[in-house]
Structure 1
Amino acid sequence: MTDKTERDARMPVMASRRQFVLGTAALMACAAMPFPSFAATSAAQQIADHFSSVRTMMGEFVQFGPRGEQTGGKFFIERPGKLRFNYEKPSPMRVISDGKNVVIGNTKLKTWDLYPLNKTPLSLLLSERIDLGNQMVRDVKQEADLTTIVLGDRTIFGDSTITLMFDPKSFELRQWTITDVQKKDTSVMIFNVQNGVQFDPSVFEIPYAEVHGQKRGG
């Protein structure tokens, strides 16, 4: 019974690692892409300017997987280049960017996946300046209480799409949803967000000894 409980608890973590990286990048990827019309492009620039002005932020998130599984945790961001996502127990998952690399780790199993930051969409999220250079916006819906943006680009996200939902007045992100090639959705909601927070440098430290030790051992 215990083994089954632990296995079930790990399922959303292990099954959604790639989706999580894409979803985290989507947190600000929308601010890096123009909308189809001039008016929409102007709105996108306002969102980009808002995100660029936020140097640090932290908060909580809840993630809903395609099978209905649910998990949550806390996130921390410091521009440029630094990010951390901690899933709450019993999930052992961690996502850390130190400005050069990004790791996705399972602290219980001692497994780590390492990626250069500049080779991931997270570089958009964490950049000093958000560039509105590429054509990725597929749809924009502006309502009284919500602005919804759908992004897709095969060169970065493959056949997946990302739907982001913003407060139209504050430009703050409320939720994003990743739709994969099989049309399955993974959604992340964020709340209790605080800006202008000071972090200890250790928050964004990658345990390189463990990462490289794992590779030598494997």
Structure 2
Amino acid sequence: MAAFLTTPLPASADAPSGLERLERFYEETRSLRADFSQEVAGPEGEVQERSQGEVWIERPDRFRWDYSEPYPQKIVADGETVQFYDPEMEQVTVRDFTQGLGHTPSSVLSGSGDLSRQFEIREGGRKDGLAWVELIPRDREQAGFRSARVGLAADPVRLREFVFTDPFDNRTRLQFENIRVNPALDADLFNFQPPPGTDVLGGGGRNG
């Protein structure tokens, strides 16, 4: 398991800092399952979209986001490809894992790569009972967001919030509940097979 910090963490006189909690999260979390809610707000703070669903992550590089509200969608990665499935459109888009993600929240949470190489990592203070860490992409052209904040609870360490701002000042806030750390996950979760008749984009034609 590759370390994501290349410099010693600052000493803490009381509760663990955000950086210490983030390090523990990567050290201790091999897999997780959680319910999530997602809120997208525009530059002026107006809420544009709300959604929710369930997420499974198995490090490294495997994850599945199942959106249930306001309409079903799936994003599934097996370490080699990422599939974006829209059942209403009967369409799935298949991309190479690296090209399909870049430096996105999914790549951060699934633990792909060395975060200290991809981001400038800063302490983000404490708010709402969480210790926060700020991530600033080193390569802004490749990153899927301009900046991000990760909120972590302690004892045991749990990832509770992930807030990121895109280049157009839209802000997406992910909140996680009912978190299970290191559950045994079925490999089929990350082996998505679209239903027969689904249009396949980027992967060669039509399934079935």
TM-score under structure 2 normalisation?
0.72
Question: What value does the CA root-mean-square deviation take over the aligned residues?
Answer: 3.4
Q: How far off its partner does 1:132 sit?
A: 3.7
Moved more, 200-209 or 124-133: 124-133
Q: 1:136 aligns with which of 120, 129, 137?
A: 120
Q: Is 1:178 the equivalent of 2:167?
A: no
What is the Cα deviation at residue 205 of structure 1?
1.1
1:62 CA drift (Å): 0.6
Tell me the equivalent position of 1:50: 25
The 5 A counterparts of 1:51-130 are 51-66=26-41, 67-68=46-47, 69-119=49-99, 120=101, 121=103, 122-127=106-111
Q: Which residue of 2 aligns with 1:204?
A: 190
Please state how far the C-alpha of 1:166 moved relative to its aligned partner. Answer: 1.2
Structure 1 residue 34, shift from structure 2 partner: 6.6
Higher helix share: 1
Alignment of 1:164 with 2:150, yes or no, is yes
Question: What CA distance in whole angstroms lies between the structure 2 residues aligned with 1:213 and 1:168?
Answer: 42
Number of aligned residues: 186
The 2-side partners of 1:110 and 1:215 are apart by 15
Query: 1:50: how far off?
Result: 2.8
Give 3-state SS (helix, strand or coil) of 1:50's partner. Answer: helix
Contact 1:111/1:214 (CA < 8 Å) preserved in 2? no
| Greater fraction of residues in strand | 2
Q: Give ranges in structure 2 of 5+ residues lacking alignment.
A: none
Q: Distance in 2 between matches of 1:38 and 1:202?
A: 38
TM-score (norm 1): 0.69
Distance 1:179 1:60, change over 3 A: same
- Give the Cα–Cα distance (whole angstroms) in 2 for the partners of residues 77 and 138 of structure 1: 24
